[in-house]
Amino acid sequence: MSSDVSAPDAAAPDYKNTLFLPQTDFPMRAGLPKREPEWLARWEAMGLYRRLRETAADRPKFELHDGPPYANGHLHIGHALNKILKDFVVRSRQMLGHDSRYVPGWDCHGLPIEWKIEEQFRARGQDKDAVPVNELRAQCRAFAAEWVDVQREEFKRLGIGGDWENPYLTMDFAAEATIASEFMAFVMNGSLYKGSKPVMWSPVEQTALAEAEVEYHERQSPTIWVRFRPVTLSVDQRTSPDWRPGDLAGADVVIWTTTPWTIPQNRAVCFNPGLSYGLYGVTEAAEDNWARTGETFLLADKLAADVFAQARVGGYERLRGVAATELEALVCAHPLRGVEGGAGEWDYDVPLLPGDHVTDEAGTGFVHTAPSHGLDDYEIGQRFKLEMTHNVGPDGAFRADLPLFGGLGVLDAKGKEGKANAAVIEKLQEAGALMARGRLKHSYPHSWRSKAPLIYRNTPQWFIAIDRPLDDGHGEHGATIRERALKSINELVAFTPPAGQNRLRAMIAQRPDWVVSRQRAWGVPLTCFVNRETGELLRDPEVNARVAAAFREEGADAWFAEGAKARFLGNAYDPEAWDQVRDILDVWFDSGSTHAFALRDRGGQWPADVYLEGSDQHRGWFHSSLLQGCGTRGRAPYKAVVTHGFTLDQNGEKMSKSKGNVVAPEKVVQEYGADILRLWVATADYTDDQRLGPDILKAAADGYRRLRNGFRYMLGALDGFDAAERVATAEMPELERWVLHRLAELDAEVRAAYGAYAFQRAYAALFNFVTGDLSAFYFDVRKDALYCDAPDSLRRRACRTVMDALFARLTTWFAPMLVFTMEEVWLSRFPGEDASVHLETFPETPADWRDDALAARMAQLRRVRRVGLGALEVERREKRIGAALEAAPVIHVADAALRETAASADMAELLIASGATVTDAPAPAGAFTLPEVPGVAVVAALAEGAKCARCWRVLRDVGRHAHPETCERCDAALA
RNA sequence: GGGUGUGUAGCUCAGGUGGUUAGAGCGUACGCCUGAUAAGCGUAAGGUCGGAGGUUCGAGUCCUCCCACACCCA
């Protein structure tokens, strides 16, 4: 099996204990689930967060402002991803040399918690409306507080560092006071007004419903095609080349709707300027048909055929195309204009308005618009100042004094079809305004409690005007909230990934005014008063100050306490003359205000350096904070916005309980440890959606083990390292200088990546370095020197000097990501009660480590090395060698420059062979080559001589030294 | 239905302004070592670059359409 040369004498001395093998107590297996809690306890005991603040007190501040999660339920993977990314940011900034505090927050008010409490009431048979509001609020508060505690522990377990003792809660009294104050700023600057907006309304329960309370079921609705007759034509039309006198005046604009009861509330007809429309004439129809021969209609071209089929028209022709400019100029009569018994109710004009929401997928290409009964309708109404109607009451019935339809219900008390639709259809038919009718089964909103159908109905609400110029002294970036917000997005905020900018801009550019009122109980009230006579808002700084002061002491409950109105109005106002608003602020106003009480009120940086949330928050927190900040401070409360995608299962599908593919962070922590979850975050491109599942976690754990062993090896190699061993860079072998060069490169890469929130880039660079450059190359090559060289050998000392530099950098560079493991690594080298890798900063890297010429040379050598390794591999396959030390390859290099490079290096060392020869002799046939390394051929000859019993190299001088069966180096090392 | 994105080996990701046989790491298979050993080293296999058209001498990279997935909205 083995040749004579390599077989050690049976009686050879055992030199193993004369070697300097790696020594470390650092365990190969991590046991993270068990050990991580120990590190957490240690950090808590040593007051790590406080110490971080102390050591960094005079550094420049970096402020990541935490978006508050909702205090309801256990953490899911999205929470974990978000907070881990934040932790990467906070820790990396700290180690880059900032004072990077982190104040975690919670969103505590709002509907979901209120529901839970209502549910508890119902379970006890109590009527929630009979419970005093402050009792309900107290229970909501207790409920939120409980979940804050639960979530806090769950976050801490993930290794998230922060001021967990002093988080901010939106329900803190101080926060409630600030939220109210911020709201009152909108009262004072004139942007708050009372308006009316359609909401999902349940006539059965007589209440508004939030989107989450709505479910969709199939329902059959009547459908009608209604004619709107133009009454006015503008001058523009006559300049159109297609103009024919009166051809549009006599044509009917046709709309289609599934809610005939909304026709009495019609205020406009919308069309889409991007669609193609035509003027159509009926050429053939039955005598008694609603659409008769000779009549003309305006329709979207794509839908005309459908409409005529529905209208039972046998033949029709397209007379001409109609331009958007012509449509825009049309004004129609309401179809019930002049109807008998209408009492002039509908004798108003109905304009044609452009709207992007109109499509030619279904209907007629014209959309009936009732601003009180639909969101698109409402927005169009806002834009074109259409009148809101108040024809439908809370019970879903027309107001009693509405002509023709007074008292008729859209739905009856049990949610069944009422009489309104039929009555409206009948009147339209009488008026000759119907072109066709039918029935349609479609998905329709229902209440998830009563299962009864819902309607859109306008209700009075409070709004913040976002296009009203504010004279508030914050006009540097624009006069209105929208202008300031757009300026912020365009010029003042950096977006990661860049697409976020467009997304937010599009939303801000086209959003309507902000509805801030909710008819709820658990939240901060709209702390304002309305004059009973005039409807005027009370604007008195003294009243506002009293409210804020009371909230600070007693919380927002003060607003609902006995005698609150008189208390806040004080002596200057007659309580009888003023109404106290009892609506609750939209929770988005709460969270939009966090920058005020979590940053401004707590000595933080304003604006924050960064907000980091899921991409859904473009509509949520980024959005509300932006509006709020622009309204009270004149700009975005952040300088940068970082967004992450969503976590899907490992097949790229959404996680859901029913699919059973949910990965709970708690489970990952129990099975693998938090560092594995954190490592997964570090490997994923968080800007897009990420995948997570058992296989992916396993892969993360594999990567972790590889890294861990790399650190373990460094620890072993550095055993007993003393500063006196250090070697100056200039005196190091080129292999060591090359490692330092790589460190210099990595230093720049890692800092840049962390600075750009590119954690994946940082991690990948580091991981590839550890596995590719260290484990597979440097460590492997240097084993011989490390184990066998005498302790005072320059080569070994240089190696340990470099190991020390590696250790200092790799531990700190990885520390923001692998918080537990890097602490473990650090402490196994530098134990001490006060020690922690997290108190370190990234070490400075000496400029002279960088050596691009050396890097180029090493790249050449590694190419030659690959050919050598390939040659050895062939020998192994042929069973001629096992270990590389049995070989002494001959390297034939054709190119003189490359040959010079190879000859001047220790190729035997790089190949971990016992010898190597570089020659210009032509390569013999059969020499090993690689196509990608032309001009290099290797013959993997066996090493000649005997195997040194200590270092296992096969050398000619073995056996000629004082210590039996040793080589010269080992003999000297033993002396 | 609309808006915003994404889609490169089993997995995680690279692939400025279009240009030789599309790369890396992990995993897998095979082999070596047995002085990092429930570790370490090496070699190999593995890709219709979501699909279809188009522009071009030439497209993973540009254009159009389509498909899938996700988020937001309706």
User: Measured from the CB, is A688 under 7 Å from any atom of strand B?
Assistant: yes
* CB-based burial label for A195 (10 Å; 0-12, 13-18, 19+): middle
CA pseudo-torsion sign A478, A480, A486, A492: positive
Return the closest nucleotide (C1') to the Cα of A784. Answer: B35
Contacts of A403 (CB under 8 A, 6+ apart): A341, A342, A343, A345
Pick the closest to residue A327 from A282, A276, A371 (CA basis).
Answer: A276
A970 is in an annotated binding site: yes
* Cross-strand partners of A94: none
List, in sequence order, every beta strand (DSSP E) within A514-662: 514-515, 517-518, 529-531, 578-580, 584-585, 610-614, 640-644, 647-648
User: Measured from the CB, is A695 under 7 Å from any atom of strand B?
Assistant: yes
| Confidence band, pLDDT 50/70/90 cuts, at residue A209 | low
| Confidence band, pLDDT 50/70/90 cuts, at residue A450 | low
Spell out the long-range contacts of A397-406 with Cβ–Cβ below 8 A and sequence spacing 24 or more. Answer: A397/A203, A398/A261, A398/A264, A402/A264, A402/A345, A403/A341, A403/A342, A403/A343, A403/A345, A404/A264, A404/A336, A404/A339, A404/A341, A404/A342, A404/A345, A405/A264
All domains of chain A in start order, with CATH: 47-191+465-644 (3.40.50.620), 221-440 (3.90.740.10), 692-821 (1.10.730.20), 854-944 (3.30.2320.20)
Residue A97 dihedral angles phi and psi, to the nearest 5°: 110, 15
Start-to-end Cα distance in chain A = 34
Q: What distance in Å separates the CA atoms of residue A112 and residue A211, rounded to the nearest whole number?
A: 12
Q: For A580-618, what is each residue's pLDDT tens digit?
A: 999 999 889 999 999 999 999 998 999 999 999 999 999
Contacts of A17 (CB under 8 A, 6+ apart): none
* CB-based burial label for A28 (10 Å; 0-12, 13-18, 19+): exposed
- Mean pLDDT is lowest, of A570-579, A924-933, A948-957, for A924-933
Task: Specify the DSSP class assigned to residue A292.
Answer: -
- Mean pLDDT is lowest, of A83-97, A166-180, A222-236, for A222-236
Pick the closest to residue A769 from A733, A801, A741, A797 (CA basis).
Answer: A741
Q: What distance in Å separates the CA atoms of residue A300 and residue A249, rounded to the nearest whole number?
A: 17
| Confidence band, pLDDT 50/70/90 cuts, at residue A211 | low
pLDDT number for residue A247: 65
pLDDT number for residue A264: 86
Return the closest nucleotide (C1') to the Cα of A1. Answer: B32
Per-residue pLDDT, averaged over A674-701, amounts to 94
In contact, A779 and A806? CB cutoff 8 Å: no
- For a pLDDT cut of 90, what percent of chain A falls above it? 62
pLDDT number for residue A331: 79
Alpha helices per DSSP H over A347-409: 375-384
Q: For A523-538, what is each residue's pLDDT tens digit?
A: 999 999 999 999 899 9
Distance A706 CA to B39 C1' (A): 9
Q: Which residue type is seen at A233? A: L
Q: What is the DSSP string of A742-760?
A: HHHHHHHHHHHHHHTT-HH
Chain CA centroid to CA A577, Å: 48
pLDDT number for residue A207: 67
In contact, A256 and A363? CB cutoff 8 Å: yes
Cis peptide leading into A222, omega within 30 of 0?
A: no
pLDDT number for residue A657: 83
| Interface confidence (ipTM) of the complex | 0.96
Pick the closest to residue A364 from A228, A252, A254 (CA basis).
Answer: A254
Q: What distance in Å separates the CA atoms of residue A669 and residue A35, rounded to the nearest whole number?
A: 11
Nucleotides of chain B within 7 Å of a protein C-beta?
A: 1-6, 10-14, 21, 24-27, 31-43, 69-74
| Confidence band, pLDDT 50/70/90 cuts, at residue A125 | confident
Q: For A98-113, what is each residue's pLDDT tens digit?
A: 999 999 999 999 888 9
Q: What distance in Å separates the CA atoms of residue A329 and residue A249, rounded to the nearest whole number?
A: 11
Does residue A766 have a pLDDT over 90? yes
Distance A875 CA to B21 C1' (A): 28
User: Measured from the CB, is A650 under 7 Å from any atom of strand B?
Assistant: yes
Cis peptide leading into A607, omega within 30 of 0?
A: yes
* Cross-strand partners of A947: A954
Pairing of strands A640-644, A610-614: parallel
A967 is in an annotated binding site: yes
Q: What distance in Å separates the CA atoms of residue A750 and residue A768, rounded to the nearest whole number?
A: 13
User: Measured from the CB, is A49 under 7 Å from any atom of strand B?
Assistant: no
pLDDT number for residue A2: 39
A533 is in an annotated binding site: no
Return the closest nucleotide (C1') to the Cα of A359. Answer: B1
Neighbours of A654 (CB within 10 A): 12
Entry pTM: 0.87
User: Measured from the CB, is A645 under 7 Å from any atom of strand B?
Assistant: yes
Q: Which two tokens stand for residue A804?
A: 């020390």
User: Measured from the CB, is A785 under 7 Å from any atom of strand B?
Assistant: no
Q: What distance in Å separates the CA atoms of residue A1 and residue A804, rounded to the nearest whole number?
A: 41
A528 is in an annotated binding site: no
- For a pLDDT cut of 70, what percent of chain A falls above it? 94
pLDDT number for residue A232: 64
Q: Which residue type is seen at A352? A: L
CA atoms within 13 A on the CB side of A44: 13
Contacts of A676 (CB under 8 A, 6+ apart): A32, A668, A697, A700, A701, A704
Neighbours of A438 (CB within 10 A): 13
Pick the closest to residue A616 from A673, A546, A680, A689 (CA basis).
Answer: A689
pLDDT number for residue A774: 96
Q: For A616-627, what is each residue's pLDDT tens digit?
A: 999 899 999 999
pLDDT number for residue A7: 45
User: Measured from the CB, is A769 under 7 Å from any atom of strand B?
Assistant: no
User: Measured from the CB, is A863 under 7 Å from any atom of strand B?
Assistant: no
Q: Which two tokens stand for residue A77?
A: 């993977």
In contact, A210 and A445? CB cutoff 8 Å: no
pLDDT number for residue A236: 47
Q: For A373-388, what is each residue's pLDDT tens digit?
A: 877 788 777 777 787 8
* Closest amino acid to nucleotide B70 (CA–C1'): A689
Pairing of strands A529-531, A578-580: antiparallel
pLDDT number for residue A327: 74
User: Measured from the CB, is A777 under 7 Å from any atom of strand B?
Assistant: yes
Q: Which two tokens stand for residue A606?
A: 């304003």
Per-residue pLDDT, averaged over A822-836, amounts to 95
Per-residue pLDDT, averaged over A457-470, amounts to 88
Residue A297 dihedral angles phi and psi, to the nearest 5°: -135, 150
Q: What distance in Å separates the CA atoms of residue A366 and residue A330, rounded to the nearest whole number?
A: 13
| Confidence band, pLDDT 50/70/90 cuts, at residue A1 | very low
Distance A361 CA to B1 C1' (A): 8
Distance A170 CA to B43 C1' (A): 60
Does residue A157 have a pLDDT over 70? yes
SS3 A349: strand
Contacts of A141 (CB under 8 A, 6+ apart): A108, A171
Chain CA centroid to CA A528, Å: 35
Alpha helices per DSSP H over A609-691: 621-632, 665-671, 674-683
Q: Which residue type is seen at A847? A: A
Per-residue pLDDT, averaged over A397-421, amounts to 77
| Confidence band, pLDDT 50/70/90 cuts, at residue A449 | low
Per-residue pLDDT, averaged over A906-927, amounts to 94
In contact, A99 and A57? CB cutoff 8 Å: yes
List, in sequence order, every beta strand (DSSP E) within A288-398: 296-300, 313-322, 331-333, 349-354, 366-369
CA atoms within 13 A on the CB side of A320: 11
Q: Which residues of A575-605 are buried (b: 16+ CB within 10 A; e: fewer)?
A: eeebebbebbbbbbbbbbbbbbbbbbeeebb
Q: For A503-527, what is each residue's pLDDT tens digit?
A: 899 889 888 888 888 888 899 999 9
Does residue A242 have a pLDDT over 70? no
Considering only residues A9 and A622, tell me which one the structure prediction assigns the higher pLDDT.
A622
Q: Which residues of A76-85 are buried (b: 16+ CB within 10 A; e: fewer)?
A: bbbbbbbbbb
User: Measured from the CB, is A102 under 7 Å from any atom of strand B?
Assistant: no
CA pseudo-torsion sign A345, A351, A357, A358: positive
Does residue A4 have a pLDDT over 50? no
- What angle do helix axes A133-157 and A77-95 make, rounded to 10 degrees? 60
Q: What is the DSSP string of A44-97?
A: HHHTHHHHHHHHTTTSPEEEEEPPPPBSSS---HHHHHHHHHHHHHHHHHHHTT
H/E stretch holding A461 reads strand A455-464
Q: Tokens 């900018």 identify what position?
A: A501
Pick the closest to residue A754 from A637, A911, A642 (CA basis).
Answer: A642
Ranked by mean pLDDT, the top range of A248-257, A296-305, A773-782 is A773-782
* CB-based burial label for A203 (10 Å; 0-12, 13-18, 19+): buried
Return the closest nucleotide (C1') to the Cα of A18. Answer: B35
User: Measured from the CB, is A909 under 7 Å from any atom of strand B?
Assistant: no
H/E stretch holding A548 reads helix A541-554
pLDDT number for residue A235: 44
Answer left, alpha or beta for residue A966, where phi above 0 means left and psi between -120 and 50 means alpha.
Answer: beta
CA pseudo-torsion sign A557, A558, A562, A566: negative
Does residue A797 have a pLDDT over 90? yes
pLDDT number for residue A515: 85
pLDDT number for residue A448: 67
Instruction: State chain A's mean pLDDT as an integer.
Output: 88
pLDDT number for residue A105: 96
User: Measured from the CB, is A601 under 7 Å from any atom of strand B?
Assistant: no
| Confidence band, pLDDT 50/70/90 cuts, at residue A58 | very high
